Amino acid sequence: MSDKKIRFTVPNFVNEITFRDIENFDIKINSFFNRLFTSSYTSVDKYPFKKSSGNKKIQFNLNKENQLIYDNLLPKNKIQNESEYFRDLIRTYISQPHYKRERKIFYSEYESIQKAIQRKEEVLITHLGNDYIVEPYFFKVTSEEKNNFLFCWIYEREEYSVFNLSRISKVTSIRFRKNKRYVDSDYIDKVHKNFDPFLSYGNIVKVRLTDQGKIWFKRISHYKPTLVKIEGDIYYCESSDRKATLYFSRFYDEAEILEPLSLRKKIKVLLKDTLSQYE
């Protein structure tokens, strides 16, 4: 049995959202639609459809396993129009918020990790092509990113880390605990309550702002560190080094990182490398 070709037409806005997700999730179109079908074929809502010159055609190959499921669906769900069914499938998908759409496409990975969290088991995760044995604690969704982030402990690195769900390509359960370590429940709870994907909790960055820098700090919200206190021109922010670099690099000479000194040195190197490109 060869893969079944599926073709259907959707409104332009549906096409745009769909392919934006495909690009953001860094996934192939066939994999995207097969994953969506696997996770969602039992819950498809009906949507009206109007033919228009602005509609877009979508085509993908339904794999053999999903084709067997689909063939079984036909009589049970009284599906008479293939295009209509798959158009409703994608319409149902895009009607959901981004974090729920991500969970639909990465349903298998998400559910496997959730089970490991409930059972307090370790899992082997493949993230961006690299394998890690991790102790998973929780998923969090940030209002800024609207993605699902896994907070966990990486045994190989001996550190806490955050993985974006859409960058996890494989999850393998480990039925027995291979490692033993002290679990800092208090720290994990505080990270959960004060979560950001950069793991800024407890890290203080000291920065001097000019008058213009102060204005920008009020206006620019994306990746904005949490303000702890202000002493004159000195702002104390709770932020990881990476988050502070991403945020304050937009300020140019309107912001000067003072502490930690290790971050100040990194900024110096970045600025020198940038300047060398213009010499």
Residue 172's pLDDT is what?
Answer: 93
Largest CA distance in the chain: 72
Tell me the mean pLDDT per 10 residues along the chain, length 279. Answer: 89 96 96 97 91 93 95 79 94 96 97 94 93 95 86 93 95 77 87 92 96 97 94 97 95 96 94 89
Nearest to 151, CA basis, from 141, 142, 162, 159: 162
Residue 85's pLDDT is what?
Answer: 94
207 Cβ contact list (under 8 Å, min separation 6): 234, 235, 237, 244, 248, 255, 256, 257, 258
Residue 35's pLDDT is what?
Answer: 98
Nearest to 15, CA basis, from 42, 33, 35, 34: 33
pTM attached to this predicted model: 0.87
Residue 1's pLDDT is what?
Answer: 64
Residue 178's pLDDT is what?
Answer: 65
